[in-house]
Every structure is written in C-alpha cells, then in structure tokens.
Structure 1
Amino acid sequence: MPSQQVTGQLAVESANQSMTGRQRLTLAVLLTASFTLAVDFSILNVALPTIGSDVGFSLANLQWIATAFALCAAGFTLLFGRIADLVGRRRMFLIGMALLGAGSLLGGLAADPAILLTARVAQGIATATVVPAALSLLLGSFMEGPLRDKALGLNGALMAAGFTTGAILGGLLTDLLSWRWAFLINVPVAVVVLVLAPVVLRESKPSGKTRLDVPGAITVTLGLLALIYGLTHAAETSWTHPVTLGALAVAGIFLVVFTAIEHRAQFPLVPLGILKRPAIAWGNLAGILAFLTETSLVFLLTLYLQQVLGYTPLAAGLSFAVLGAGTVLGGMIGPKVIGRIGTKRAIVYGFTVQALATAALVMLGTGGTSVILLLGATFVGGVANLVVIVGFMVTATSGLPDGEQGLATGLATMSQQVGITMGIPVMSAVFAAQLHALETTTPAAVLSGVTTAIWVNAGLCAATAVVLALFLKAPRAER
C-alpha cells in the first residue's frame, strides 16, 4: 500500500476516534510482545536461589542471571532501534521474537551456568530488538491524537505492570511447577506472535538514503554497557570500589567519544540536534526517572516485606497486585488526563503525587498493619507513575518526521530500559550504605535502610517535578 494512502487511511481512522479491527489486532500483537518482555525483567528474581542450586551457580554469581539480561536490554536498544529504521521495523520485530522464543527454550532446558547465561543474553538482545521496533510500529499505526495517546497509555500500563507481574508470576511458577517455566512460558507466546505478526503488521521504515553509523553504534553501546555494569557493581560492593569507579570512568570516556563522533558523522546514530528539542531531552529525562523510581521501589518494598515482616517470596509478590492494578488504571486514565490538562501538567502533577505517595511509605513499621499503608500508597503511586509514563511517551515521540521516528522511539525505549536497570543498583547502594553505617542486619536495621532509600526515591520524584515544571515546554498544539 503506498505511504500516502496509508497516511490518509490512518487520518480518517483517527478522525473517527475509534479503532478499526486491524488496529485492534495490531495493538494486541504489539502489546502482547511488549508485556512479555517486561515480565522477563523480574520473573526470575524470586527464583534465583532455587535456580542457583539446580544449575550450579555460586551465591556470589547469582546476580549475573539478572545482570546479563539487563546489560543487553539497555546496552543494545538504541543500536537495534536504528537498525530497525534501516532494514524494516516489522522485520526486526520478527527477528527479535524468534530470538526470544529460542533463548527462552534454551533457558528452560539449561543444565549449566554457561547455557543459562547464554539464554539470558539472548532474551536481553531480543528485548533490545523488539521493544523499539514494536513502539515504532505502534506509532505508525495511529496518527497523533487521542487514539495514539490511548494506545501509548495501554503500552505504558502493560510495560510497567509487567515488572510487577513478573514478581508475582515468578513466585507462582516456582512454587507450583518449576523455575524453568519462567523461561518456557515465553515459547508459546513467541510462536503465536510470529504467526500473527506477518499478517497483521505493516512493514515500516523511513524513505531516503541512510547508513548505519558503525563507530557511533560501537561507542554508545560500549558506553551504555559500562554504565549499567558500573551501577550494578556499585550495588554489589560500593560506589568507591575501584571496579565501580573504573567502569563509570570508561562509560564517561566512551560517551564523550560518541558525542564527538556524532558531530562529524554523515549519517549519525543520534543527530544531536534532536536533543536540542526540549520535548525530546526533558521528555526522556522524565521517562528515565519514572521507571527508575517505581521499579526500584518494588525492590525496596520486597526487602521490607520479606526481611522485616517475614513474608515468603510468593506472598511478597502477591502484595504488589494492588500496585499492578494502580498501574493499569493509570495507563487507562493517562490519555484522559493529558487530554484535559496537557502533557506537561500531567507529567509534573504525576511526579508530585508519586512523590507524596512514596514519602508516605517512610512511616512503615515492624507491625503487620503497616501493609495497609503499603497497599494504599503503592496503588496511588502506581496510578501517578503511569500518568507520567504516558505523558513521557507522548512527549518524546510526537511531532517528528518519519525519518526520525525510529530514533525517537529508540531513545524513549532506551530511557525506559536504562531507568529500570539503573533503579535497583542505585537504591540498593543507598540501602547497603545505611546497613553498613549501622553495622547490623537486624529487621530494625533493614527497615532503616529501606526508609532511607525511600526518602531518596521520593526526593528524586519531587526534584524531577520541579525541574520539568521549569524547563519542559508543552507541545505547540497545547499552547
């Protein structure tokens, strides 16, 4: 179908303010893939001790089951988002889903650490391939306006809820069946998506001559890998450990070199001019902080529920069902909030409410009744967080020519992945520093560490709200 005909058809569909049958199928396929990949971020967390004993991981190396996935998911997402622009977004989506299915099957059958880590690397690369391609395909299926905002709201809700669902589902599968099903459950999902996607999805790639910026791709990928590794190592040791400082220094060097390369490249991976657009720069900052704060809060509250209140991993996971409900509600009402007050106010007000809800959690105690406060505060914070995420996606991906759409979605996806990946190491380092200062690991000390990190979390939300209120500009159409 010619591009002008597709654009005209989408314009008519948007004007009618209702999704066509094809759009619904497209949305179902893309959201299923994105939700599955979001679940993979956390589905193995509660099962790590069991996996270690079954497969032969030492206690010191268990974190690499999660780190191998996160490094690849965050480090390669910008690169594969750009490759999707060059070779076709649907094609890269299908390649990524095939890799997800193969990696998940390998992980479910793994009998030694090397095979399991290979499977996690494959899942991470699949995530870096599928998520930016899926988001570009979603944006290409809906014209800017209420329908696109609704689709982005559903996408944001499921991506955020997927992190919580992973904790719940991981506990259920491990307790009732086997941790291997945390891998194997992806296989039928990948098969169904691979069958439906070629029929439902239209191929999408920008017109015009372009090439892959190989030096830029290498330096930014190595820089991101070093950054995520340094943050992860800081949580495991300290911020002043030589390996931590070395990794962060290497990350800084690579990213500076990347910036210099982009200034001179004929076809830059990241045209730096796009970051001069306030909506892109500040919108992506909002995305990083939105995912960083909420996913790390789940980590902190998991420590609280298990080590202070004595919950089992499964019970702790189930406690986040209320947070999951809040994120789904936030994704549903986010587009309506944006339609009423605009994206900038939605983001600023969302961060403000999230900051207040998070700050309320510093009143958690050692009594069982504290769980009532936890459930209420996480529900409200989850709603607010998803309003922010929907606003971030709308802000960071709107008003761009098709040739920059893949780049913008790659940046937005990278912000999402980096936020998720950075959050736990940063808050874990704050938590560990407080325990080290107290020189004990009693429940009271754990509670002190958790509340200290919660204060930092709430402060980040509040500071982001202030910064965005000052510097984020509303889209021209909203002024």
Structure 2
Amino acid sequence: MRESEGLRPDGRLRLVLGVLLVAQFMLAVDFSILNVALPVIGEGLGFPLSGLQWIATSFALSAAGFTLLFGRIADLFGRRRVFLAGLAVLGLSSLAGGLATGPEMLLTARVFQGLATAAVTPAGLSLLTTSFPEGPLRQRALGLNGALMSAGFTAGAVLGGVLTSLLSWRWAFFVNVPVALAVLAIAPTVIKESRPVTRPRLDLPGAATVTLGLLALIYGLTRAGEHGWDSATALIWLAAGVLLLIAFYAVESRAVSPLVPVSVLKKRTVAWGNTAGLIAFLTETSLVFLMTLHLQEVLDFSPLAAGLSFGVLGLGTVIGGSLASRVIAATSTRTTLIAGGLLQAAATLSLVALGTSSTGLWLLLAATFAGGIGNMLVIVGFMVTATTGLPDHEQGMATGLATMTQQIGITMGTPVMSAIASAHTGIHSGITTAIVVNTAIVLAGTVTTVLFLGREQAS
C-alpha cells in the first residue's frame, strides 16, 4: 500500500491511527489543563503562592528532560512496549494526582505524568511514522496528529476551566484514567511491536549528559521567568545546561552506539526542521499565555470565559492540520513551512491593535484563528521534514528529537514572554511589546527555513 498510488489506509491502519491520535491528544491536553485551576488547587491543598508554578514546572522538567532518552529506549526495546508502559504510568499517576491530599503527593504525581509523557509521545510518533510509508499517507497522518496535539493544548485550557468550574480541579486528573484504560485495552490488539533484530548498547554517557543538560536548561528558563533574566541563579543553570549539551555533542561524536548519531544531527532536514518546530511551539503557546493575560488582566474575563475564547484557536489548528498534508502535496514541505510562518506572523502582528476594551475581541478571535492555521502548517511541515529520509530503526530517535523540540518550545515560550511583558510598568504595553517580539521570532524562524532548508532537502 503505497501512498504514491493514492490508496487509503486499510481498516487496521485506521484503528492504529485512531488509537495513537487519541493518546497524543490526551497528552497534549495535559500540558494546559491545570493552568486555569492553579489558584483553586493551591487553596485546596495548601500550596504557597510561590509554589504554584511547580505544578507546571515539575511536569515540564520530566516531560522535556527525558523524552530523547525514552525515544531511544523505544527504538531499542520495543516501541509498543514503551508506549503501553507509559500509558499505564500516566493512568496511575493521574489517579494519584486526583486523589492527592497534599502538595508532595500532587507534585510526585505530576513528575510521573511528565515521565509518562516523555515515554508515550516519541514512542507513539515513531509507531505512527513506521506504520505509514513516506509520502501522502504519512503526511496526512502527521497532519492529523499535529492538529489534534495543537488542538489538545487549546482544549486543555477550555476543559480545565469547565471541569474546575462545574465539578472540581480533581477531574482535570481523573479525566485521563478512562482514556488511558481504553487505549491500553485496544492498542495491543491493533498495534504491532516494532524493534530492531539486533539490539545495540544504550549510550549511557550520552543519555546522562543530554538529560541533565535539558533539565538544567528548562529549570534555568523557569527561574528566569520567575525572577527575570538578570537572576544569577537562572543564568548559572542556563550556562550549566548549555555546557552539558555541548558535552553531549562531544560524547556522541565518539560513541560506538550513540544515542543520536552526529551524522543525523548534521542533516539539514533534522537541524532546520527542528528549528522551525521549536519556534512554532515557542511562539504559539506563549501567545496563548499573552492573550490569557489580556483577557483576564485587561478585559477582566473570568478563567472560564477566557478559556472558552480560545475555542476559535483550536478550530484554526484543526483546519490547519487537515490542510497541511494537501498543501505539502501540492507544493513542498519547505513552501508549507514558509507560508505557515508568514501567515502566523501576520496574524500575530495584527494583535498589537488590541485596545483596552472588549470591542477588540473580534480581532483577537480572528487573529488567533488565522494564526492557528499558519502555526499548524509549520508544525506539520516540521514533523514531516524532521522524520523524512531516516530508516525505521532511527524513527524513535527522530521522533524523540521532534518531541523534545516540541516540549522545550512549550516550556521556553511562557517564561520568555512573561519576562518581556513584566518588564513594563503597564500590563497592556508589556503585552504589546511581547507580541512584537513574538512576531519577530516567527519571522526569524521563517528566514532560517528560506536560507538553510534547500529545496532539495524539503521538497
């Protein structure tokens, strides 16, 4: 069944796609479902105000820090095995989070949720890319995956507000349990195991340096978001993260069985595809943060009303994800990345016209809708580019890199934009400045695609 022949996936492949998409959507929801519920959780469990951010940070640290390691473990020991094990951990940790009686129990649950995400996301993506051959079918599958993941991030904000307002913040955890159980029941019957015939040794020095480097980098970014970019502690952690990642590159260049071969890192499709993806996730997720500030702090919207306002962004991402594979087929991944970046930049820049009254709400809705379409064109183009031209036995590593890129982008965006917005005395002027910077970053990512991702690498 070759996509070049224009055939549709058979019944089993449709089930495989459905199971993987449900799992990825659930993981995307987890990134944002607790955002609007943080003050309520703090009051219910006795979190100090300064400790609330650790509910998100503990998840982000483990999710981003371990994703490359787990992606490679999935390559070596079986992608389905890692996928199912991660889902089981996610279900159990979500149940524990919903039953938490104190801050320690909740934070422990969030760490294990992050570890489960670090395992399930690259394993699920590599199962998807190895189930569908390169070409239109894989592009369509990655388009749907990207659309649902981006929509899940937006849906998390909406769902978190609804569940917290109508039931309890605990349901933001409990909602994962039946979904995880359903996927665990169906997945073993439709997804085939995927692992190499000969198993190379796991590169422990590479795993240690990249994991510690990512943990230090993300912790440094979090500290910078809290205390500003002149914080000595933040700068020390950021420097440590950079040095450890440099050490990782040096280790990989000499390793017999590297975690990520240097030859793969040097591929233009991998390097510049992941650059485009990093910028796409950094800018769009941080824009949601900025617009949340605008709605709640400037327009005085309730958390539920603010969450519901992002429904149009979710609609835009779904449309963008469904269109992306067609745009790629009609043009190229490079053209899709450029067109998506320009659309996202134009939509984001238009938000500088937002005023301090609710009359500008129509602009916010229209711009986030259009920006969501553009952002999804970039995300799907990034996923196709970053996983193309690699053999099946390296797909877990490639999707691990792509997942790491995604999670670092999500983690980086909010601290960066928060620091920019808070540098101004007025919240509205701070948000406006951050919007301009956000636009400039999107354009910079588009320029790197134009300059460094040649037509022959992404056609």
Same fold, TM exceeding 0.5?
Answer: yes
Q: Where do residues 350-369 of structure 1 align in structure 2 (5 Å cutoff)?
A: 350-369=340-359
Q: Where do residues 314-393 of structure 1 align in structure 2 (5 Å cutoff)?
A: 314-393=304-383
Match of 2:144 in 1: 154
1:254 to 222, 244, 250: 244
Indicate the SS of the match to 2:229. coil
Letter in structure 2 aligned against 1:471: F
Q: Does 1:446 align with 2:436?
A: no
Instruction: Label 1:209 to 1:98 Cα distance change in 2 as closer, same or farther (>3 A).
Output: closer
**What is the CA-CA distance between 1:299 and the residue it aligns to?**
0.3
Match of 2:260 in 1: 270
Q: Does 1:21 align with 2:2?
A: no
1:51 to 19, 33, 41: 41
Q: Is the 8 A contact 1:211 1:267 kept in 2?
A: yes
Match of 2:228 in 1: 238
Instruction: Label 1:477 to 1:214 Cα distance change in 2 as closer, same or farther (>3 A).
Output: closer
Match of 1:457 in 2: 438
Match of 1:198 in 2: 188
The 2-side partners of 1:363 and 1:16 are apart by: 45
Letter in structure 2 aligned against 1:270: V
Q: Does 1:226 align with 2:216?
A: yes
Match of 1:215 in 2: 205
**What is the CA-CA distance between 1:162 and the residue it aligns to?**
0.8
**What is the CA-CA distance between 1:14 and the residue it aligns to?**
6.3
Indicate the SS of the match to 2:358. coil
Q: Where do residues 34-49 of structure 1 align in structure 2 (5 Å cutoff)?
A: 34-49=24-39
1:173 to 158, 163, 166: 163
Match of 1:5 in 2: none
**What is the CA-CA distance between 1:367 and the residue it aligns to?**
1.4
Match of 1:143 in 2: 133
Match of 1:83 in 2: 73
Instruction: Label 1:460 to 1:303 Cα distance change in 2 as closer, same or farther (>3 A).
Output: same
**What is the CA-CA distance between 1:15 and the residue it aligns to?**
3.1
1:362-415 deviations in Å (ceiling 9; x for gaps): 010011111000000010000010011110011000111122211111111111
Indicate the SS of the match to 2:180. helix
Q: Is the 8 A contact 2:146 2:376 kept in 1?
A: yes
Letter in structure 2 aligned against 1:469: V
Q: Is the 8 A contact 1:235 1:432 kept in 2?
A: no
Q: Is the 8 A contact 1:207 1:403 kept in 2?
A: no
Instruction: Label 1:280 to 1:476 Cα distance change in 2 as closer, same or farther (>3 A).
Output: closer
Percent identity over paired residues? 63
Q: Does 1:467 align with 2:441?
A: no
1:24-54 deviations in Å (ceiling 9; x for gaps): 1101100100000100001001000100011
What is the total number of aligned residue pairs between the two structures? 459
Q: Give TM-score scaled by structure 2 length.
A: 0.98
The 2-side partners of 1:392 and 1:37 are apart by: 19
Q: Give TM-score scaled by structure 1 length.
A: 0.94
1:61-98 deviations in Å (ceiling 9; x for gaps): 00000000011111000000000011100000000000
Indicate the SS of the match to 2:32. coil
Indicate the SS of the match to 1:57. coil
The 2-side partners of 1:292 and 1:33 are apart by: 22
4+ aligned runs moved over 6 Å, structure 1: none
1:435-457 deviations in Å (ceiling 9; x for gaps): xxx2xxxxxx1111111100000
Match of 2:279 in 1: 289
The 2-side partners of 1:46 and 1:474 are apart by: 43
The 2-side partners of 1:406 and 1:14 are apart by: 24
The 2-side partners of 1:458 and 1:51 are apart by: 34
The 2-side partners of 1:68 and 1:243 are apart by: 18
Mean Cα deviation higher: 17-26 or 73-82: 17-26
Match of 1:64 in 2: 54
Q: Is the 8 A contact 2:269 2:458 kept in 1?
A: no
Q: Does 1:189 align with 2:170?
A: no
The 2-side partners of 1:197 and 1:304 are apart by: 42
The 1-side partners of 2:456 and 2:54 are apart by: 42
Indicate the SS of the match to 1:369. helix
Match of 1:120 in 2: 110
Q: Is the 8 A contact 1:101 1:191 kept in 2?
A: yes
